[in-house]
Chains A and B, each alone.
Chain A
Amino acid sequence: MKSTIQTLLAVVALVALTAVTASAQATATQSLNVNASVNSRAKLTLGAAAINFADADPDVSPTLTAAALSVDVKARTSAGASVTVTVLADGNLVSGSDNIGIANLTWTAGGAGFVAGTMNATVAQSLAGLTGSGDYSGTQTYSLVNSWSYATGSYTATITYTLSVP
């Protein structure tokens, strides 16, 4: 019996020694490092793949005007970096052996950062000058000088739009 009591007391003492001291509140924390890569990107979207000018009397319509073309520019770059959109024609407007000088093609522009200009087949012309990352929208409305001197025909030219994001 004495042995039993001693054993019991020993167990009590052991439990008391190994028990965790109670406190009012416990907190546990762990840290997690977060890294996110944001690279430079560029995306250019035109509202149409073709621009058409309808025939008109040069006296009545000395300038032919096409429907406004929407230009959507999406750029991701470093803060303060210059984002540019340029246009460049592949040559004059051509119909067989006839041509209309590409400088007769001009445009007006709408939207912050978008500028008016005159087409060139040698040097890319600025359509938009923007700063930093963002989703920018503008419009470009082409006009073609009309003239009695043009030979009849269906003239075409290809214009290349280039978005540059450093």
Chain B
Amino acid sequence: MLQVRFPLPLLAILLLAAPAATAQQSLTATLTADIGVLGKITVSALTLTFPDADPDAVPLVPAAGGPLTIVAKARSGLGSTVTLTVATPDDLRSGTDVIPASALSWTASGPGFASGTLASGVARTLGAWTGSGARTGTQTWFLANSWAYASGMYSLTLTYTLTVP
């Protein structure tokens, strides 16, 4: 019986040089990506202006400049409810004169966007959606006009809040 003997270093070299079919190996690696909850709200203007108008001719004064474009981007859990609200802590004020915040209302367009009426101290829903996504809609503001208002330049600040659970 013929036996071929190789020194050990030479055997190792031969094994490494062997064809791929005989050197198969399987490994596993776990890939982890953390996608965090994220929200971003963009309103197309920083100022909303209502011009003076005759209450009889224009009972609802539309804001100058037309509709606002609202973009709400949310990354949330599957099936989570994403909400966009509008709030103001106060009424429209001009010195000591007041126009109630409820005189401001809006119409909305776009999937998930809803029309509404403002109220001081209460967040009003402008949009609601399910899950992640980027949503675009428009919001057109109106001021209920009245002869009862004292003349003046009224102002308030609105806060848009996008909540992503």
Contacts and interface: CB of A to CB of B under 8 A. Distances in A.
B49 A78 contact: no
Nearest to A74: B147
Interface in B26-62: 27, 29-43, 45-52, 54-56, 61
Interface in B144-165: 147-165
Interface in B121-165: 141, 143, 147-165
Name which of A15, A26, A36, A41 has the most chain B CB atoms within 10 A of its CB.
A36
A31 B151 contact: no
B31 A36 contact: no
Contact of A29 (B33, B48, B155, B162): B162
Interface in A48-96: 74-79
A75 B27 contact: no
A35 B31 contact: no
Contacts of A74: 55-56, 147
A91 to B, nearest CB: 33
Interface residues of B, number: 60
B41 A30 contact: yes
B155 A41 contact: no
A3 B150 CA distance: 78
Contacts of B152: 38, 78
Contacts of B102: none
A32 B45 contact: yes
B97 A79 contact: yes
Chain A interface: which size bin? Answer: 35 or more
Nearest to B139: A32
A35 B68 CA distance: 15
Given A5-B29, A20-B34, A76-B151, A31 B41 contact: no
18 contacts: A16-B32, A19-B36, A20-B38, A22-B35, A22-B37, A25-B163, A28-B39, A30-B159, A30-B160, A31-B159, A33-B157, A37-B153, A38-B149, A38-B153, A41-B147, A76-B150, A133-B148, A134-B147
Interface of B: 25, 27, 29-43, 45-52, 54-56, 61, 68, 74-76, 92, 94, 96-97, 99, 104, 141, 143, 147-165
